[in-house]
Amino acid sequence: MTITSAQAPTGLNVHEISWSAKGTLIVDGIDLRAPFGKITGLLGPNGSGKTTLLRAVARLSTPDRGVVHLDGTDLAGLRRRELARRLAVVEQHAGTDLDVTVLDVVLLGRTPYRSALQSDSEHDRALALDALRQVRMADFADRKWGTLSGGEQQRVQLARAITQQPSLLVLDEPTNHLDIAHALSLLSLVQRANLTTLAALHDLNLAAMYCDHLVVLRDGRVEASGTAAEVLTPELLRDVYDVHADVGTHPVTGRPLLTFHPPAGGDLG
């Protein structure tokens, strides 16, 4: 069983994850699957538990119970360094006061591979530069972090994550602070990285366009999961998001295209 799963990677399997803060259940026994090599979008209104679930998966917080398997390995059994070689995170927004260069930032991705006193090898630098090429930032290697735009910074963080050579990419609303051009370009780059990806997203049309698989959360539970066409129905949008929308077909991608209606009476609820 374990041998087969090691040979044929199974992607991410989350089983019965619960997490509570001060006695309130934020994530309530969630089961979900992120297929190998695909992008899985995690949707849901604010407060539905998306970020909490991602943090539990990435072990940035410890869940009350539940297990997370990645390609057949129980992540709870890994040391933090080993985990960082299999799982890379890109946050909503990464900032630093330090005068680091783009290459410095990307090379941070090699941290879990190097012992305390080892310096970065040629191999590390080659991986970093390659990742920068992948995200179309090769010419920026020597630029200072502080001189980049928000979209460029997120691409560099993606390059850093790729340099970790992970089996799973965890993205927490990576396009939140980006304009539409940068949001599209970032998600296209994620798509081209061909990694098993679990991404919390706010924009439903972006999710429909880029995600192979969607999971919708509501009040800390899974409300629906499946392909964009299966999940993004007018009924679900009304139930979960409390909005009225028409679901059409995107003229280019053939994926669902949502058109939202203004709330009745121009007011909420």
Partner 1 sequence: MSNAAAETTGGHAASGSVLRGSGVQGSGVQGSGGPTRPSPPRSGGRPSLRALSSGGIVLGSAVLLLASVLVAVVLGQADITVREVWTVLTDRLNLSFLQIDAVGLGAQQPSDIRADVIWEMRLPRAVNAVVVGAGLAVVGAIMQTLTRNPMADPYLLGISSGASTGAVLVIVAGFGSGLVGVSAGAFAGALLAFVLVLVFGQRSGTLTPVRMILAGIAIGQLCGALTTFVILWVADPHATQDVQFWLSGSLAASRWSSLRIAAVVLVLALLLCLWHARALNAFAFGDDAAASLGIDVNRVRWVLLVACALLTGVLVAVSGAIGFVGLLLPHAVRFLVGPDHRLVLPLSCVLGGAFLLWVDTVARTAFDPRELPVGVVTAILGVPAFIWILKKRQVRA
Question: Minimum Å distance from CB 61 to partner 1?
Answer: 10
Phi, then psi, of 141 in degrees rounded to 5: -50, -40
Question: Minimum Å distance from CB 54 to partner 1?
Answer: 11
Closer residue to partner 1 (CB): 74 or 82: 82
Which of 207, 219, 223 lies closest to 174 in space, CA to CA? 207
Which residues, 6+ apart, have CB-to-CB distance to 249 below 8 Å? 255, 256, 257
**Which 8-state DSSP code applies to residue 94?**
-
Closer residue to partner 1 (CB): 122 or 235: 122
Amino acid, res. 156:
V
Amino acid, res. 154:
Q
Contact indicator for 246, 234 with CB cutoff of 8 Å: yes
Q: Residue 264 burial (CB < 10 Å; 0-12/13-18/19+)?
A: exposed
Closer residue to partner 1 (CB): 91 or 212: 91
Closer residue to partner 1 (CB): 59 or 244: 59
Question: Minimum Å distance from CB 112 to partner 1?
Answer: 4
Amino acid, res. 240:
V
Which residues, 6+ apart, have CB-to-CB distance to 88 below 8 Å? 109, 160, 161, 162, 164, 166, 168, 169, 170
Contact indicator for 201, 46 with CB cutoff of 8 Å: no
- Position of tokens 């539940």? 66
Closer residue to partner 1 (CB): 122 or 267: 122
Closer residue to partner 1 (CB): 83 or 228: 83
Closer residue to partner 1 (CB): 142 or 267: 142
Question: Minimum Å distance from CB 216 to partner 1?
Answer: 25
Question: Minimum Å distance from CB 95 to partner 1?
Answer: 7
Strand pairing category for 213-218 and 39-43: parallel
Distance CA 244, CA 11 (A): 34
Chain-centroid distance of CA 133 in Å reads 21
Which residue ranges make up the site for partner 1 (CB under 8 A)? 58-60, 80-85, 87-89, 91, 94-101, 103-105, 107-109, 111-112, 114, 116-120, 122, 124-125, 139, 141-144, 147, 164
Question: Minimum Å distance from CB 104 to partner 1?
Answer: 5
Question: Minimum Å distance from CB 57 to partner 1?
Answer: 11
Closer residue to partner 1 (CB): 99 or 235: 99
Helices (H), 80-227: 80-86, 102-107, 122-134, 150-163, 180-192, 204-210
Question: Minimum Å distance from CB 6 to partner 1?
Answer: 22
